[in-house]
Structures are given as structure tokens and as C-alpha cells.
Structure 1
Amino acid sequence: MQEDYINIILADDDEDDRMFFTDAFEDLKMTTKVQTFNDGVYLMDYLNSTEATLPNVLFLDLNMPRKSGLECLQEIKQDPKFKDIAIAIYSTSASEEDIENTFVQGANIYIKKPSSFKKLKKVLSEVVTINWQYHTNNMNKDNFLLRL
């Protein structure tokens, strides 16, 4: 019998952030499979490959070399095969402009990277347990930025 995993992908060029992210999910003991990519080019190559397992939730760092999170978001939103992926922007930036841009481009939620491991776990467990079907039907800018 196959277990129901929540497939999660993080694209982030910061190695420490990737490590904290995967550690947090291990700590949370949720049935998740977490993959990480260190830039947007690798991420898009993977998503477009035939053997890709599409994630339920994709966490995108905005500022990455070669291809930014915003560029990935735009590409993903233009391709119908990715329509079921919930996209969480995961960034150190909390600039109104970044939040506005990613909202307009169709991201599902915006998360400012938490300052502590404990907060990170809280954020991740919250994002992964969101009922995205319901959440995206009622999208507005107020529930776009995850505030904890």
C-alpha cells in the first residue's frame, strides 16, 4: 500500500536555508518527501523532465542566481501541467513590491523566512496543512502574506 506523501520542493540558493528547511520537516514528522534545488534553472529542468514527481507545494526563494523565483513562477504559471502546484514564495524580502509582484503572478502564499527554527517549523506545518483548494478560491492580498 502506498502512503500518501505530501511532495514538497524548495528552490533556494542558500545552503543553510535548505538544510534548516529539510531538518524542520524531519522534526515535524509529517509524511512528506522533500526535494531541494539550489537554483531556478535546476528546478525548472527537473519540473519539465518526464520523470519529475510534481510537488504539492513548491517553495520558491526569490533571489537566486541564473533564474529567480519570480522567473520560475512566471514559467510555471504559463504551463497548464503545473496548474495544481501550490506555490509558496519563501524569501528574506518582505518588500511590498515583491509581495505585490508574486501575488499578481499567481503565487499562492508569501512567507518571509522565519528567524528561528521553531518559527520555521510552525510556518511549514501551517503551509503544508492548508487546504489549497479552499484557500485559492478565496485568494486576496490579506491572506496571501502568511503572518505568524
Structure 2
Amino acid sequence: MSLYRTILLVDDDKEDQEIFRDAIEEVDTSVHCLCANNGEEALVLLSNDITAQPDLLFIDLNMPRLNGKQVLQEIKKQPHLDGIPVIMYSTFFGEADIAEITAAGAVHHMIKPTKFADLCESLERILATRW
């Protein structure tokens, strides 16, 4: 059983959202996965009901409008969100990206696996870690 009950995935790719949700379901059926289609939608979701916040956030690095770094910075400015662990999620991270997101408060970065089994394995490790 996971340490986390609710996850919010912020990703503009609907297919990636579906695969991520399927992997969460495969790893732990007790975890509820919400999705936001972009950074702006995520910030609205997170500010609307401060009593029902996710336990863990996954944010895609490359999104239109607000990119993942901008979303992370906005989240860390808000005291009611600052304690939620943020994992940045992308197909690629450069060294500068890793340094920047770590300095901004991300607890981890995860490269999007190309295989479903690898995604499940990564999520199993992440969900078993107290960030």
C-alpha cells in the first residue's frame, strides 16, 4: 500500500495522462490519480479547494503557457502547497534543468519511461518513498 492517497499529474499530453493513470492503477488501486491538462489548470485546481490537496504532484517539464518550472515556482510560493512533494516528469532533463528544479524545490525528477512495465516499476519505488 502506498504512502500517498491522491496524486495530481500535470501533463498536456492526454495519452501520457492515460498511461500514467493505468500505471498507478496497476501499482496500487488505492491511489487516486487526478490530471490537469496544463499548468494554469493545475494552479486553479490547487487553489480552489485547499482542504482537498493531493499528497504528491507530478509535473511535466515541457508544457505550453506555463511550463513545469513555472508551475513549480508558483506552487512553492503558496504556503498551503509548499509541503506537497513535487516530482518533475519529462522525456529529457538537462543538467541545468535538474539544478534549476532542485533549487526550486522539486524532490525528484523522473524521465518518462518508454515501456509500461518500467513506468510501473518507477512509480512503485516513488510511491514507497516518503518525500
* TM-score interval, normalised by the smaller of the two chains: over 0.9
Q: Percent identity?
A: 35
Partner of 2:89: 90
Partner of 1:60: 59
TM-score (norm 1): 0.82
Q: Distance in 1 between matches of 2:104 and 2:9?
A: 18
Alignment RMSD (CA, Å): 1.5
Comparing 61-70 and 48-57, the one that deviates more = 48-57
What are the ranges of 5 or more consecutive residues in structure 1 without an aligned counterpart? 133-148
| 2:43 is aligned with 1:44 | yes
Q: CA deviation at 1:52?
A: 6.1
Task: Please tell me the residue identity of whatever aligns with 1:49.
Answer: N
* 4+ runs deviating over 6 angstroms: none
Aligned-partner SS, 1:82 = coil
Q: Distance in 2 between matches of 1:126 and 1:119?
A: 11
Where does 1:1-148 land on structure 2 (aligned, <5 Å)? 6-50=5-49, 53-132=52-131
Q: Distance in 1 between matches of 2:12 and 2:116?
A: 18
Aligned length: 129
Task: Please tell me the residue identity of whatever aligns with 1:97.
Answer: A
Q: CA deviation at 1:84?
A: 2.0
Answer yes or no: is the 8 Å Cα contact 1:39–1:65 preserved in 2.
Answer: yes
Q: Call closer, same or farther: CA 1:99–1:29 in 2, change over 3 Å.
A: same
Q: Distance in 1 between matches of 2:64 and 2:26?
A: 29
Q: Call closer, same or farther: CA 1:60–1:106 in 2, change over 3 Å.
A: same
Deviations 1:91-112 (A, max 9, x none): 1112111111101111010101
Q: Distance in 1 between matches of 2:50 and 2:105?
A: 25
Answer yes or no: is the 8 Å Cα contact 1:46–1:52 preserved in 2.
Answer: no
What are the ranges of 5 or more consecutive residues in structure 2 without an aligned counterpart? none
